[in-house]
Amino acid sequence: MQGLPRAIFPAAAAGLATFLFAAPASAEVTAESQFVFNSFSFLIHGVLVMWMAAGFAMLESGLVRTKNTAMICLKNMALYSIAGLLYYLIGYNLMYVDVAGWIGSFSFLYNPSDAELALINADEATPEMVTAVTDNGYSVMSDWFFQMVFVATAASIVSGTLAERIKVWPFLVFVVVLTGFIYPIQGSWTWGAGWLSEMGFSDFAGSTIVHSVGGWAALTGAIILGARKGKYGPDGRVNAMPGANLPLATLGTFILWMGWFGFNGGSQLALGSALDVAAIAIVYVNTNLAAAAGVVAAMALTQILYKKIDLTMALNGAIAGLVSITAGPDLQNHLMAIIIGAIGGGLVVIAVPLLDKLKIDDVVGAISAHLVAGIWGTLAVGIFGGGDLVTQVIGIIAIGAFVVVASSVVWLLLKVTIGLRVDEEAEQLGLDKTELGMEAYPEFGTGAQSM
């Protein structure tokens, strides 16, 4: 806009004419426009969340060692695929269809509504056909798409923690159960209008329902699977096993940050009114400020504690800030978002060495960034006035207990049947060579031998 105040609505110059010649008969969004806006919000925000799968893949590729890099790429590609298929086959129905308190419908597949198919296939649509579709507020498959990418996110959290030692097929079987059953069942309690929803549990975009769920599953797996050989010395020493490609980890974090605008923004679940889009804008701003505060807090804290900044802590600080704000990104005081994110970023710096003290081996820090910050973010909604603190605690405990128990059963069943862990020689050589027969970087350095 040439020569015009940029922050002032340019209608004066460009769009004003539209207003001048005819006052619209009604000023509100029409029902059909609202339907288009809402559905499109699910779709485009869903694409951003889908993109987070690539973010996790890059973050984890950067934080594992070269000898396990191709495998972590494969797991991330496979888990995103499996999550989508399972959520279509069974998961979505369990989570959203005919939820009776604590579980939805055990039915298969999920398809467009009859009203939508009738409209799409009509030779000539009637107003009644359009109304039958728009009455739902959004297209049913756009909602399916948006919910599907969320279940994939939960699964993505698990792969990083368990990297460098878990066998590929047992891991993928766990993903089947997590995305087909565990995630949808607990998800139905709140987002499917089940018992936690009735209690008033508040988790806007899933600090608990997505991130802690992934974190609990990862934690359970890490305990049952055990640490990588050599990670913890007999004398209590923690051996660093540094990630092989930090620019990729940085890229992954930026991707996650970008995707989070879809994750939190799309969770407004509507776009087609002034109220909704204004609320989404508030969500975007809080999401960005919390992540920024997480980075700065993690940097400052590592500088104070260790006299040096740590890049991977800064990256996890960003993620922790994002996870922290996810339960309540709709708060109307942006300063609070900065505080919540900063505390999340600080928690990561404390949680990572604490887990190492407990000899819980989390290759990428996902338990700290997703579980710890997820709990914090959910509590913060109670503390900062977006919900009842006791109810928030009940939700955190109930979901945590269910996921821990269910995951443990699956992990243990896998352990005693097909086995969970590669043998010691394979772990030493790296999963890329032993499980895939390939190398991620065949021409670079001598990773597998030297580390």
Q: Which of 195, 254, 384, 402 binds a copy of itself (CB under 8 A)?
A: 254
For the CB of residue 223, give the shortest distance to a copy of itself in the complex, in Å.
27
DSSP of 301-314: HHHHHHSS--HHHH
Nearer to a copy of itself, 102 or 254 (CB): 254
For the CB of residue 418, give the shortest distance to a copy of itself in the complex, in Å.
13
Residue 188 three-state SS: helix
Nearer to a copy of itself, 99 or 325 (CB): 99
For the CB of residue 384, give the shortest distance to a copy of itself in the complex, in Å.
13
CA-based nearest residue to 423, from 229, 233, 244: 229
Quote the crossing angle between the two packed helices 373-383 and 311-325, to the nearest 10°: 40
DSSP of 56-96: HHHHHHHHS-GGGHHHHHHHHHHHHHHHHHHIIIIIHHHHH
- Whole-number Cα distances in Å, 304 to 16, 60, 294, 308: 55, 27, 15, 8
CA pair distance 205, 185, nearest whole angstrom: 17
**Burial (0-12, 13-18, 19+ Cβ within 10 Å), 78:** middle
CA pair distance 70, 97, nearest whole angstrom: 38
CA pair distance 152, 262, nearest whole angstrom: 14
- Using the contact rule CB under 8 A, the part of the chain among 196-204, 231-239, 352-360, 399-407 near a copy of itself is 196-204
**Residues binding a copy of itself: number (CB under 8 A):** 185
- Residues 341-370 within binding reach of a copy of itself (CB under 8 A): none
CA pair distance 400, 398, nearest whole angstrom: 5
Q: Which of 100, 107, 247, 423 binds a copy of itself (CB under 8 A)?
A: 247
For the CB of residue 396, give the shortest distance to a copy of itself in the complex, in Å.
15
User: Is 427 among the residues that bind a copy of itself (CB under 8 A)?
Assistant: no
Nearer to a copy of itself, 240 or 416 (CB): 240
For the CB of residue 244, give the shortest distance to a copy of itself in the complex, in Å.
5
For the CB of residue 282, give the shortest distance to a copy of itself in the complex, in Å.
5
The secondary structure of residue 333, as a DSSP letter, is -
User: Do you know the residue count of the chain?
Assistant: 451
- Residues 141-160 within binding reach of a copy of itself (CB under 8 A): 141-145, 147-148
Q: Which of 98, 100, 106, 281 binds a copy of itself (CB under 8 A)?
A: 281
Q: Which of 157, 158, 178, 295 binds a copy of itself (CB under 8 A)?
A: 295
User: Is 35 among the residues that bind a copy of itself (CB under 8 A)?
Assistant: yes
Q: Which of 102, 200, 227, 428 binds a copy of itself (CB under 8 A)?
A: 200
User: Is 304 among the residues that bind a copy of itself (CB under 8 A)?
Assistant: no
- Using the contact rule CB under 8 A, the part of the chain among 156-164, 285-293, 368-376, 415-423 near a copy of itself is 285-293
CA-based nearest residue to 228, from 411, 360, 353: 360
Q: By rule CB under 8 A, what string of x and - marks binding of each residue 168-187 to a copy of itself? A: x-------------------
For the CB of residue 391, give the shortest distance to a copy of itself in the complex, in Å.
9
Residue 108 three-state SS: coil
- Check: CB of residue 371 under 8 Å from CB of residue 211: yes
User: Is 437 among the residues that bind a copy of itself (CB under 8 A)?
Assistant: yes
Nearer to a copy of itself, 180 or 265 (CB): 265
For the CB of residue 401, give the shortest distance to a copy of itself in the complex, in Å.
21
DSSP of 116-175: HHHHHH-SS--HHHHHHHHTTSS-HHHHHHHHHHHHHHHHHHHHHHTTTTB-HHHHHHHH
- Residues 79-138 within binding reach of a copy of itself (CB under 8 A): 80-82, 84-85, 88, 95-96, 99, 109-112, 116-117, 119-122, 124-127, 130-131, 133-134, 136-138
User: Is 230 among the residues that bind a copy of itself (CB under 8 A)?
Assistant: no
**Burial (0-12, 13-18, 19+ Cβ within 10 Å), 3:** exposed
The secondary structure of residue 180, as a DSSP letter, is I
Nearer to a copy of itself, 227 or 300 (CB): 300
- Check: CB of residue 215 under 8 Å from CB of residue 404: no
Q: Which of 154, 210, 218, 248 binds a copy of itself (CB under 8 A)?
A: 248
Nearer to a copy of itself, 353 or 445 (CB): 445
CA pair distance 216, 408, nearest whole angstrom: 10
For the CB of residue 408, give the shortest distance to a copy of itself in the complex, in Å.
26
- Using the contact rule CB under 8 A, the part of the chain among 214-222, 364-372, 415-423, 433-441 near a copy of itself is 433-441
